[in-house]
Structure 1
Amino acid sequence: REIIEQLKDGEIKSAATQYNWLKKDGESILVELNTALLKDEGYNIIGTISNVRDINKRMVVEEELKQRNRELLILNTIICFLNKFLNLGELLDNALEKVIEIMRIEAGALLLLDDANNTFTVETSKGFSPGFVSNVLNINGEKHIIGKTICSGDYFMIDDIETSKIPDTEWLISENISNFLCIPMKTKRKVYGMMMFGHRHLRFFTEPDIELLETIGGQIALSIENSLLYKEMRDSEEKYRLLTESANIGIISFTKEGSIFQFNKKAEDIFG
């Protein structure tokens, strides 16, 4: 009625409104109604005329675009944040905190895979009790269903713990976890660990959530790889420095321009 009055008063020439329309078969669709005044030859208002469009598909596309933009924003935020850290411990602590904050997850943990004994070990956690962490401290990659799934490169999820037929879930029930998700942290060539998440209330991990978390898991894995390479480089530099310092011969290093930039203790003793 308000729109009709605005049309009569000349405030607007036409109006577009959206309604949920229930079809005969019970299906609900979203329609857009475009309304204008209907006038006779003397320009007297005799009614209104409307055209109607089914805009369900358009709204679905718009929602998908919004979701994709949201995912890109989250991913960009995570990537920029991860690039700040080269120390592995700092990287894992901060990565977990940022993912939980942005994705609004109640509890989470990051576990790294020890290649020597094929075991996942908790490196950092947030929102889980100490008792829970001790129960998942070591997950075998060959014997435990979660470990085997993650090592295969797939995610592991339990929608409803209480109705789940998966064995050995008492540790989840005791933590009051209702929805449980584990995502591999992997690159194309290696699984570095897993992200473990849980909700205590009735909130489910949706398919878009899982896809986004899988992408985030890949980014964290790349950051882990960079951190390990950085540590390896630093260790190699330190090893070289110690060998140089302890050598019984004088060692002098020059830049390509011919300037001395490093010499060991023996060289210092020789040249004074």
Structure 2
Amino acid sequence: MARKTLHLTALSKISKAITSDLYLEDILKLIVSVTAQSMGSKLCSLMLLNDKGELVIRATQTVSEGYTKKQPVKLGEGISGRVAKENKAVAVYDVQAEPQYKYKEIAKQENICSYLCVPMNVKGKVIGVLNLYTSEPHKFTKGEIDLLSSVAAQAALVIENTELMVKTKVIQEELESRKIVERAKGILMKERSLGEADAYRLLQKYSMDNRKSMRQVAEAIVLSHDMKSKI
């Protein structure tokens, strides 16, 4: 009952983190820290797939340099790579006796024995894995596997939402920049009797000569025009 309470507390903390104003990196660190604590784990880490299709550590509560500097894992390689490729959890009772486990030296140094790896997926697409290790031999129960899978699902959700917000913000900023540049171009065309192409080239030249972005130059032109209109 006590362990179940800890598990529910962990899920509650993670749910609150997802709806907080914390940065993504802080949320991921909180997830691995709370998960390790609630499940009595020696070590917990979160790995995400990069553009090369490799799993890279993005968060862990350990301070071990040997573990945090592990090389990226290719999709299908080792236990974590296999979990990411097959989208299916894998539990290992003894990593030293597991042929597929790649980091036996690190496991020995860190006194790691049992290992549970679950996939992180969004709408069926795997984006990474969540790893859990124990220092004593441990047979992971279905309840523990389900709990870690729930944590992984929530972690995947926060990553998807954060990336979506970033993309949306970038798109909005791009549209705003285009609008302001178009307005500045129109002002130059009218005030200097320039064609559209010449007005745009003038904006570009001023931007390059003064090491300012096109938006900064355009905003200055619009501001100056608006001030003149009010005087």
TM-score, L = length of structure 2: 0.71
- Say if 1:85 and 1:160 are closer, same or farther in 2 by CA, change over 3 A: farther
- Say if 1:151 and 1:81 are closer, same or farther in 2 by CA, change over 3 A: same
Q: Tell me the distance in 1 between the aligned counterparts of 2:49 and 2:129.
A: 8
C-alpha displacement of 1:215: 1.1
Judge which range, 226-235 or 164-173, deviates more: 164-173
**Contact residue 245 and residue 265 of structure 1 kept, 8 A:** no
Q: Tell me the distance in 1 between the aligned counterparts of 2:22 and 2:165.
A: 7
- Say if 1:90 and 1:77 are closer, same or farther in 2 by CA, change over 3 A: closer
The alignment status of 1:154 with 2:77, answered yes or no, reads: no
- Say if 1:213 and 1:145 are closer, same or farther in 2 by CA, change over 3 A: closer
**Contact residue 86 and residue 227 of structure 1 kept, 8 A:** no
Q: Tell me the distance in 2 between the aligned counterparts of 1:142 and 1:149.
A: 7
The structure whose Rg is larger is 1
The alignment status of 1:218 with 2:173, answered yes or no, reads: no
Q: Tell me the distance in 1 between the aligned counterparts of 2:101 and 2:40.
A: 28
In structure 1, the residue matched to 2:68 is 133
Judge which range, 137-146 or 227-236, deviates more: 137-146
In structure 2, the residue matched to 1:249 is 186
C-alpha displacement of 1:226: 0.4
- Say if 1:157 and 1:173 are closer, same or farther in 2 by CA, change over 3 A: farther
Higher percent of residues as helix: 2
Judge which range, 163-172 or 232-241, deviates more: 163-172
In structure 1, the residue matched to 2:54 is 119
C-alpha displacement of 1:80: 1.9
Secondary structure of the structure 1 residue equivalent to 2:143: helix
Higher relative contact order (CA 8 A, sep 6+): 2
Query: What one-letter code is carried by the residue in structure 2 that aligns with 1:225?
Result: E
Aligned length: 194
In structure 2, the residue matched to 1:188 is 123
Q: Tell me the distance in 2 between the aligned counterparts of 1:239 and 1:233.
A: 10
The ranges of structure 1 where at least 4 consecutive aligned residues each deviate by more than 4 angstroms after the TM superposition are: 66-73
Q: Tell me the distance in 1 between the aligned counterparts of 2:101 and 2:7.
A: 34
Once the two structures are superposed, residues 18-56 of structure 1 have per-residue CA deviations (whole angstroms, 9 ceiling, x without a partner) of xxxxxxxxxxxxxxxxxxxxxxxxxxxxxxxxxxxxxxx
Describe how 1:62-141 pairs up with structure 2 within 5 A: 71-85=7-21, 87-114=23-50, 116-127=51-62, 129-135=64-70, 137-141=71-75
Q: Tell me the distance in 2 between the aligned counterparts of 1:160 and 1:144.
A: 14
Q: Tell me the distance in 2 between the aligned counterparts of 1:245 and 1:174.
A: 58
C-alpha displacement of 1:121: 0.5
Between the aligned residues of both structures, percent identity stands at: 20
Higher percent of residues as strand: 1
In structure 1, the residue matched to 2:195 is none
C-alpha displacement of 1:178: 0.5
Q: Tell me the distance in 1 between the aligned counterparts of 2:81 and 2:109.
A: 20
Judge which range, 241-250 or 86-95, deviates more: 241-250
Describe how 1:34-53 pairs up with structure 2 within 5 A: none
Q: Tell me the distance in 2 between the aligned counterparts of 1:182 and 1:109.
A: 10
RMSD: 2.7
Could you tell me which of 140, 144, 166 is aligned with 1:231?
Answer: 166
C-alpha displacement of 1:169: 4.4
TM-score, L = length of structure 1: 0.62
Structure 2, unaligned stretches of length 5 or more? 188-217
Once the two structures are superposed, residues 71-126 of structure 1 have per-residue CA deviations (whole angstroms, 9 ceiling, x without a partner) of 55543332122221463222212222222222232211111111x31100111211
